[in-house]
Every structure is written in C-alpha cells, then in structure tokens.
Homo-oligomer: A and B are copies of this chain.
Amino acid sequence: MYEEKDLSRRKFLKSGILAAGALAVGSSIFNTTKVVEAVETTPTPAPCDSNCEIPSFPYPYAHLDAEKAKLDGYAGYGKSKCSYGAFEAIIGQLGDKVGYPYTMVPTQVLGWGGTGGGGWATLCGALIGAATAINYTMEKKDADKVVSELFGWYCDHSFPEFAPAAGKALEYDGVMEKSVAGSPLCHVSVSNWCDASGLKAESKARSERCARVTADVAAKTVELLNQFHSKTFKAVYKNESVEDCMMCHGKGHSLENTRGLMDCDQCHTNVEPDNLVEHIKRSWDIKD
C-alpha cells in the first residue's frame, strides 16, 4: 500500500519536470499567461476529479491496534455517536496505516446509524458502522461471515468492558453496570441495560454506556479483521434456540416462512423452549 505514496512522489517529480519544461519554452511556443498559470497551479493539491483512477475494491488492509480502536471509538462517539464512532475507529486507523484510499472516505456518512438508525433503535449503530468498515476490506461473501460473527459476539457478550482513564469519562463517571444485549438491536440492547442498571434510557449514564460499547465493538471488529486478514478467522457463533426453530421455519424445511438469526423467543414469547413441544403439537394439530 505504501507504493501509492511512492508513486505520488514520482508523479510530483514528473509534474515539476513538465512545469519547468513548459516554463522554459513558454516565451517561444506558448502564451506566457497560460504557462505561468500552469506553473503556479502545479504544487497545489488537486481535487481527485473524474480524471482519477477509481481505487480497486476491496481496499488493502494493514494489521490494526485494538487498543487504539477502543480509544478512537470512544472519542468518535463523543463527536457523532455510535455508528460514526465505530466506523471512524476502523477507517481512521486504516487511513493512518494504509493511507489512500481510506483517506478519501468521509466517515461522517455513517452518522445516520446513531440510535439504531434515525432514532428507530433498530440495528445497534456501532454494528452498522463496524460492519461497513469490515466490508471496505473484503468482498460481501466474506464480510457476511465476519459481520455475522460480530453480531453473535454482540448478543452474548457482557459489556461495556472499556473504561476511560480516571477523570476522562465523556458524560458519566459513576459505576457502569454491564449487561448482555441478547440482540443486535439497539432497542433491546438499551432496554436490557436499563433493566440491569436501573438507570434511564436517555440519561448521561446510558450515553456513556453506549460510548463504551462503541469502544468494545470497535476493538472486537479489529480482532476479527486481524484474524480474517491473517487467515486465522473461524466463525464460532451458534444460536441453538434459533436453530431449533429453523428446523421447521428455516431454509429447506417444512414451513420456510422466515429468516434471520435473532433470538426467536425474545419476541415469540408463546414459543419458549419449555413449551416447544406444545407449540409443535398445536401447529400440527397433534392430539395427546
């Protein structure tokens, strides 16, 4: 990836030679004004306009530092919430280590993911930002696997684990309760944390919690990206409860009337594991 920078230096040298050449012959074969204008504009950074080569996709990867991603994710939350925070933590560090083309990515475009998408509390914004960053470094077929593993970790992991240095908290410096989100959805993740902490959903404490979750998600994403790009990534997430349901409702099975990996009995409360047999008997009208 550093070849890009070397190439750019070579290009600048060439421009210098060309400008000097143009200046040298300016009075003889060119209109002087034009040549002076050309010489003056040569050293100015040029906008990357439609003459530019489109960077090839996926973008190159460099091994990232998970500890730095935590700090950057936390700071990014302070600037523009969770989705931007997680995205900027990854893309910003890739910009530092790889340079172009990451330096051209406007990380503000993931701002919309805060509060789970325009205030709707759907997919956790930190996951939206992290998943988009993942996909910059690999094709969709691979990103699907890494993103799925990240979502699975998010559901089962007790967080926030990250804690800022003493006196450096963004919004709340009290005891920070951990909770298990049980879902990749902001609505469930925040509600479960409110239950665990007894604190309010729009409090400074909840905002602090989400800033720390952003740090944890950014660090986990770096861990998975480093694994993938060093060929040591292995998908380990399983949800046996969902697999049980999908034995009838999933792909290739008798009903095949839904899809996904979110915990079924979180919403389908009449189908808890302990009454699954009853559910099947009801569904198939099986008498005792």
Which A positions have Cβ atoms within 8 angstroms of B? 4-5, 7-8, 11-12, 14-15, 17-19, 21-26, 29-30, 34-35, 37-38, 41-42, 45-55, 57-59, 80-81, 84, 99-101, 103-104, 106, 108-123, 127-128, 131-132, 134-136, 139-140, 143-148, 150-151, 184-187, 190-191, 194-195, 200-203, 250-252, 256-262, 266-267, 269-270
Specify which of A120, A147, A151, A200 lies most central, judged by the most chain B CB atoms within 10 Å of its CB: A120
Q: Find out whether the CB atom of A100 lies under 8 angstroms from the CB atom of B50.
A: yes
Q: How far is the CA of A128 from the CA of B184 in the complex (A)?
A: 15
| Chain A contact residues: helix, strand, loop or mixed | helix
Question: What are the residues of chain B within 8 A of A112 when measuring CB–CB?
Answer: 131-132, 134-135, 140, 143-144, 147
Task: Decide: A118 and B22 in contact? CB cutoff 8 A.
Answer: no
A201–B253 Cα gap in the complex (Å)?
10
B256 touches A151 (CB 8 A): no
A-B contact pairs, 15 of them (CB 8 A): A5-B49, A14-B42, A48-B100, A49-B99, A52-B52, A57-B108, A58-B106, A58-B108, A84-B140, A101-B104, A108-B135, A109-B132, A111-B139, A111-B144, A201-B258
Q: Are B251 and A49 in contact (CB under 8 A)?
A: no
CA distance A60 to B36 in the complex (A): 31
Give 3 nearest A-B pairs by CB, closest first. A121-B260, A48-B48, A111-B140
**Contact status of A259 and B135, CB under 8 A, knowing A18-B42, A143-B111:** no
